[in-house]
Amino acid sequence: MAEKNIPISEDDLHPINQLNTKQKEVFDIIFNNAMSDVGGAFFPDGPGGTGKSFLYKVLLAHIRSRGFIALIVASTGIASSGFLEGQTAPSRFKIPIDGGPGSKCQISFQSSEAELIRNFKIIIWDEAPMADKSATVSLK
Ligand SMILES: Nc1ncnc2c1ncn2[C@@H]1O[C@H](COP(=O)(O)OP(=O)(O)OP(=O)(O)O)[C@@H](O)[C@H]1O
């Protein structure tokens, strides 16, 4: 499973030392939650340019460097391309593009996507509130 063996360098890990107080607070909450398998959903919020993507990259690096699967998706290809192994949510989770209320991800139980979803530590969905509601509901 390629997502389990994403090479992480010191350059990916080191920016944890640059996190500001708020970023570090959010990092600690999400990282500790993921590592302890408590489960939950978090919505880091802030105006553009306040360091959400920066924080996500640090989170991804520190979870992946421990051999765990951390997925990052965004609603658009441009947004997802800013992240290592980023993908659009519809592509990653086989979300029907024209799906309305009640639509479901087209993932079969034995597919590689299902295997990923069974094994992930964290899914980061950048700007999830911007996504169509039916897309996030279909993943649930
Ligand atoms: N703690 C930090 N130390 C150094 N640079 C930082 C830090 N946090 C953010 N930056 C830098 O600030 C810029 C904006 O950060 P970032 O892209 O993460 O913001 P954002 O909240 O994701 O913005 P948007 O919502 O517009 O995508 C980037 O160049 C990023 O590298």
How much distance in Å is there from the Cα of 22 to the middle of ligand 1?
13
Residues in the ligand 1 pocket, defined by CB under 6 Å: 18-20, 23, 46, 48-54
Q: 78 pLDDT exceeds 80? A: yes
Q: What is the pLDDT of residue 108?
A: 86
The residue whose CB lies within 8 Å of the most ligand 1 atoms, and thus the one to mutate among 54, 75, 78, is 54
DSSP assignment of 41-80 equals -------TTSSHHHHHHHHHHHHHTTT-EEEEEESSHHHH
Q: What is the pLDDT of residue 138?
A: 66
The superfamily (CATH) of domain 2-139 is P-loop containing nucleotide triphosphate hydrolases (3.40.50.300)
Q: pLDDT tens digits, residue range 21-35?
A: 999 999 999 999 999
Residue 59, token pair as written in the block? 């989170």
How much distance in Å is there from the Cα of 124 to the middle of ligand 1?
16
Q: What is the pLDDT of residue 63?
A: 96
Domain range summary for the chain, segments of one domain joined by + = 2-139
The structure tokens 């600690």 sit at 28
Q: What is the pLDDT of residue 67?
A: 93
Who wins on pLDDT, 49 or 131? 49
Q: What is the mean pLDDT of residues 121-129?
A: 87
Residue 9, token pair as written in the block? 């360098």
